[in-house]
Chains A and B, each alone.
Chain A
């Protein structure tokens, strides 16, 4: 497939693996921030191509995984309300709330539908004027512009029965939180798709303030291997900086149109991240002109404060402190079949990816 196969060229990848092996002259720990990278790294078996002194750890960049229990509980409360339709992305279906999941609620009779884009949810709202349609909007800078457009269209169409339950988040504050956490990380594989919107400038603070290596990276195996080599070279040369490996999609300034749309529709808010707690100004919620669509504001769904007893260490995994194999319930009490934590649910969650594509040899 064009623009895919070129970046899966085995000979080039193996050549790159040789270069990495030769260049790696100490121990290196890199965090791949984005869940898309976690999935690609394991799907292509990249750890099996790396020398032992190059270690990869997963970060907080899987939107489903960092979604707080509280948010799922709110979605469930709204799903149980008479006349509601929840129109959600598939990934959210199995994320455990404190007592149930959307998937279980659907089995019990709630009207919960899986959609492929926010606009699908809008379509459902138009087709069902006597019902209220709640769209749990989730994701980082990559998906937030799509939700923003959806709200703009809802406003234009004067829809009164469409609401956004926003869990949209932005990436840089979470990376700051990871660094503040004090984990020993030598460099970051920065999220290519987020950076295509924000521009690589959004990650300048990593080398400037924290002297860590930083490469904005694409999602194919050759991209990732090249980025690892770039990171190793930055460290060997003691010259941490932001480099763009994913030049076919990312510029320093990013996508101005998408940034404008985000600015028009959303305002920053404090947001809860699984594993981190509240990170100030790390969330996006509808701004003053779009408040009528804010499910949180309109319905104030009340959830009971319950805390579930669990041995799950998703929080520590998301912060890069631990890996799935450190978890006492990984692949035993916690499987994609019966996930204890959100990291086991999403295709891009570290635990799910480890489970599906465990590295070998």
Chain B
């Protein structure tokens, strides 16, 4: 274990996983696999399932093309509940605010949060506010906690318990836009123009999918660590092979361009409105149609398949016709020199 926390520990890849395993899991008595929400049996003999999740938001800058920290805080928690198969219902929100923070900005953030919650059909029902001295936090940090119930039969979705050979993997649109929009805004990169964060609530899209299809075997949102992290987590849970076709993975031209320039891998970039869905062989085309017909799924694509071979690796058929492994991202992506 490292002696000090570095920014890598917050990157969502191997460092974060190791930190959580080494410091928290044993002490808290939490069992793997780790999922976006805890799915807890409630009621008599587990007749109902409750999803419960929490997440902190520390984005810099607070306002970026396509959203702000408040929108992220609501969408992120809604999505963590929705991918667990739950209907998000209630959210609690907690603010840590730095002395000197403009009230007008706080109002803008609160307004966005209220709008997003209303549109997504969830209620913000509890909260807390702390103010810390100048320099003790970076402007504002927001934590949201959410709950929602799952219909019986959906409790395996977050754990991937029903994933089988032949299942197909789908994503709901182009990858990397959030990371690139934030990076561009943070560093005033003039060549990143017009890229908007994909930040949005996906409970509507997911509801449509779950209501019409029975064979949804796994869902996860593609936030920190991106698609590469989620595929590797899935591989570890299901112990089956995963093959991805690079040609089928949607990435916008502008994002591709930035990745080429800075040496980033779009598969490892964070998204805030993208999910991976694993659907049964018989049903995946129907799932694709339903996803495509929702505004948040207009760019949906079938990107790969669960296979028997090579359970130790996520494999990629590259655009060039070659084959290689997709590794778990390690640490922050560092912009390259040349």
Contacts and interface: CB of A to CB of B under 8 A. Distances in A.
Chain A bound to chain B: yes
Interface of A: 1, 4, 8, 10, 13-14, 17, 36, 39, 42-49, 63-64, 89-94, 103-104, 106-108, 114, 116, 138-140, 142-143, 193, 221-222, 335-338, 346-348, 355-361
A12 to B, nearest CB: 10
A142 B338 contact: yes
A26 to B, nearest CB: 23
A338 B325 CA distance: 20
16 contacts: A1-B260, A13-B320, A44-B322, A46-B322, A89-B336, A94-B334, A104-B4, A221-B318, A221-B319, A337-B14, A347-B263, A347-B334, A348-B336, A355-B330, A357-B325, A360-B325
A91 B256 contact: no
B330 A336 contact: yes
Contact of B331 (A43, A44, A46, A336): A336
Contacts of A91: 334-337
A104 B334 CA distance: 15
Nearest to B247: A10
Given A114-B335, A138-B337, A142-B338, A45 B327 contact: no
Interface of B: 2, 4-8, 14-15, 18, 187, 189, 247, 253, 256-257, 260, 262-263, 265, 310, 313, 315-325, 327, 330-331, 334-338
Nearest to A101: B6
Nearest to B317: A45
A177 to B, nearest CB: 20
A45 B323 contact: yes
B319 A44 contact: yes
Nearest to B264: A347
B284 to A, nearest CB: 24
A4 B257 CA distance: 9
Given A1-B253, A358-B327, A8 B320 contact: yes
Contact of B327 (A64, A103, A356): A356
A63 B338 contact: yes
B322 A48 contact: yes
B125 to A, nearest CB: 38
A360 B315 contact: yes
A311 to B, nearest CB: 20
A231 B217 CA distance: 49
Contacts of B14: 335-337
B320 A355 contact: no
Contact of B334 (A63, A114, A142): A114
Given A49-B321, A93-B334, A116 B187 contact: yes
A64 B322 CA distance: 27
B227 to A, nearest CB: 14
B338 A139 contact: yes
Given A335-B14, A337-B15, A360-B315, A63 B337 contact: yes
A39 B262 CA distance: 13
B322 A36 contact: no
B324 A358 contact: yes
A246 to B, nearest CB: 15
Contact of B256 (A4, A45, A116): A4
A90 B320 CA distance: 28
Nearest to B263: A347
Contacts of B262: 116
A158 to B, nearest CB: 25
B327 A221 contact: no
A36 B335 contact: no
A20 to B, nearest CB: 13
B330 A335 contact: yes
Contact of B324 (A10, A89, A93, A357): A357
Given A1-B253, A4-B260, A116-B187, A45 B334 contact: no
B29 to A, nearest CB: 26
A137 B2 CA distance: 28
A116 B8 CA distance: 19
A45 B324 contact: yes
Contacts of A43: 318, 324
Contact of B8 (A8, A10, A103): A103
Closest 6 CB pairs of A and B: A45-B322, A90-B334, A336-B330, A221-B320, A44-B320, A45-B324
Contacts of B18: 337
A337 B330 contact: yes
Contacts of B8: 103, 337
Given A116-B187, A140-B338, A358-B327, A10 B319 contact: yes
B206 to A, nearest CB: 31
Contact of B189 (A45, A47, A116, A356): A116
B307 to A, nearest CB: 12
B281 to A, nearest CB: 23
A139 B323 contact: no
Contacts of B338: 36, 63, 139-140, 142-143, 193
A107 B324 contact: no
A139 B337 CA distance: 7
A48 B334 CA distance: 27
B76 to A, nearest CB: 25
A108 B316 CA distance: 39
A17 B253 contact: no
A240 B27 CA distance: 65
Contacts of A36: 338
A291 B334 CA distance: 30
A116 B322 contact: no
Nearest to A348: B336
